Structure 1
Amino acid sequence: MSEQWTTANIPDQRGRTAVVTGANTGLGYETAKALAARGASVILAVRDVEKGERAAAGLSGDVTVQALDLTSLDSVRTAAAALRSRLDRIDLLINNAGVMYTPKRTTREGFELQFGTNHLGHFALTGLLLDLMLPVPGSRVVTVSSTGHRIRAAIHFDDLHWERSYSRAAAYGQSKLANLMFTYELQRRLAPHGTTVAMAAHPGLSSTELARHSPAALRLPLTWLGPVITQTPAMGALPTLRAATDPAALGGQYYGPGGRGEITGHPRLVTSSPQSYEVAIQQRLWAVSEDLTGVTFPRVEPKRLSGLALAG
């Protein structure tokens, strides 16, 4: 397999259905664009439907829009119900949407905004849609994390919602670490079934709107040096696209840019922080996430499928 993996390496996606969260702009838009160009039916799951419709109008192929506000579990449930009513299968669920370095705010349910949006919203959405994926050989859940999962990151079970104090960077790190722990625990649970797999990706340092809430001390250098040290959203989407479509990809793998420091470059397999692999914390986070969201994942039974590769 070439190390210079690009959208040209994406296999034919005709007959496949992909749901991409946060797909009206940035990395999500580029992910949806590439999948639609290769023949997939793509649903842009977005908070602002008007912006989603404008984005869909600019894409070729079978592209539709679904309202989804990850800061509201009611919206997540409504979106999942709508998708279940219109779809009989989902091949790809791309958990891409996210917020970064926001001022201290909460979701509708009172969860800290970054943890609630980046992790809990996607956890709930995945659980509510998973039974549309389990019968589909080669189906994949791809969750977008960040190198920020290494920065001041831990799962603060004693104060998940930062009620005692608040750090934008640490809260973001917790949410992105949670994305990885969710992926690894989900893959462990899916492995006996043998059809659906879970993977993660990160975009490196990409020029998107995500960093608009960054402190000025960080935002100003990015403004000056952005063209030199960042990559385009199209390049930043490649790790997600490789995790979603590379026939050689396996459940539990993590993709990121292949350049120095995983900042830019073509996608390759990367590793996450040592704590992200701690099974006991993954399982504790899963239990807490089920309790907070009220979403219990469907039971996954072992299944014998002759000749079926793990990742399709």
Structure 2
Amino acid sequence: MFWSAPAPWTTADIPPQHGRTVVVTGATSGLGLETSRALVHAGARVLLAVRDTDRGAAVAAELGGAATAHRLDLADLTSVREFAAGVEGPIDVLINNAGLMAVPQGRTADGFETQLGVNFLGHFALTGLLLDRITDRVVTLSSVAHRMGRIRLDDLNRESGRYERWSAYGQSKLACLMFAYELQHRFVAAGSTLRSMAAHPGYAATNLQSRTESFQDAVMSVLNRVVAQSGEAGALPSLYAATVPDLPGGSHIGPDGIGEARGNPRPVGSTAASHDRRMQQALWERAEELTRVAFPL
């Protein structure tokens, strides 16, 4: 008897999502759009949490009546609070998808370093503000770049020293992964049936690679055509993390190929730093201080 590899997991394997409501941040393009499209096709009601409401309305019209656009600017905690206050009814799944990568130095409306503020702190606050309405799970996107990340707890917002965009990006994505793990620890400690998952897309061709405002945009444009997998393939780990019924809380889903750059979605590992419980807890406490959001656990 010959061994054969398991069949690839695709959008055709998503269980029926009829009657379920999912919030997807950053849903107007790239991974967020492909994630939303697949969920609507599977029967879910999808709340598109978007900064550009005109673009969001166009995407909602494209996806059909099961999708609706709602304004959310993760770079502004006032907007995060307004979005959360406007969401009615239960939410089965929250997918913290939106993100920035290697952008020039900047500050959010609340004074946070832009990548940390959008990728991590905005989603941290959003999750805490929606938690009492979430019924199933939270999925937070990380990146293989978490491997180069280091949490600078005493200077999270890069207020001293030279700004290094890739270092700041790595920190933000390590923070996202540590948040997902710590949230699961807290669900377990509270006796909650909710689950926290992490996912990363590998190297997927999206407009994320076109915002560095440097020569790197041209380099990554070439890599997108030659090396990267499609946005549809890049969305599969998020969809797997969001919909596989018996997936254990605390799972981290990514591609199964070399270097986790591309391939079929499966549970993957992460760095020892991402599992540092003491730092997870300290990062959580600092995020609560910065966002002034406490989780109802």
Alignment of 1:132-281 (within 5 A): 132-133=133-134, 136=135, 139-151=136-148, 153-164=149-160, 165-191=162-188, 192-214=190-212, 216=214, 218-281=216-279
Q: Distance in 1 between matches of 2:72 and 2:218?
A: 32
1:239/1:257 contact within 8 Å kept: yes
Equivalent-residue separation in structure 2 for 1:222 and 1:128 (angstroms): 36
Task: Name the CA distance, whole Å, in 1 between partners of 2:165 and 2:172.
Answer: 11
Q: How many Å separate the matches in 1 of 2:225 and 2:71? A: 33
Shift in Å at residue 224 of structure 1?
A: 2.6
Amino acid paired to 2:70: Q
Normalising by structure 2, report the TM-score. 0.95
Aligned residue type for 1:258: D
Q: In the alignment, which of 14, 25, 38 is matched to residue 10 of structure 1?
A: 14
> Residue by residue, what CA displacement relative to the aligned partner does 1:62-82 show, whole Å, maximum 9, x if unpaired?
110110000000000000000
Question: Sequence identity of aligned pairs in percent?
Answer: 51
Unaligned runs of 5+ residues in structure 2 are: none
When the two chains are superposed, the root-mean-square deviation of aligned CA atoms in Å is: 1.4
The residue that corresponds to 2:27 in the other structure is 23
Corresponding residue for residue 111 of structure 1: 112
CA contact (8 A) 1:37 1:61 kept: no
Distance in 1, Cα, partners of 2:118 & 2:24: 15
> Could you say what secondary structure the match of 1:198 adopts?
strand
Runs (4+) off by over 6 Å: none
CA contact (8 A) 1:19 1:93 kept: yes
Q: In 2, Cα distance between the equivalents of 1:124 and 1:62?
A: 26
| 1:78 aligned partner | 82
Matches of 1:270 and 1:106, distance apart in 2: 33
Q: Secondary structure at the match of 1:115?
A: helix
Other-structure match for 1:286: 284
Q: State the alpha-carbon separation in 2 of the partners of residues 215 and 149 from structure 1.
A: 22
Aligned-partner Cα distance in 2 for 1:3–1:237: 18
Please list every run of 5 or more consecutive structure 1 residues that lacks an aligned counterpart in the other structure.
Answer: 300-312
**After superposition, what is the alpha-carbon deviation per residue over 1:79-137, rounded to whole angstroms, capped at 9, x for unaligned?**
00001xxx22000100000111111100001000000110000000000000001xx3x
Gap change, CA 1:218 and 1:253, over 3 Å in 2: same
Partner of 2:122: 121
Structure 2 match to 1:34: 38
Q: TM-score, normalised by structure 1?
A: 0.90
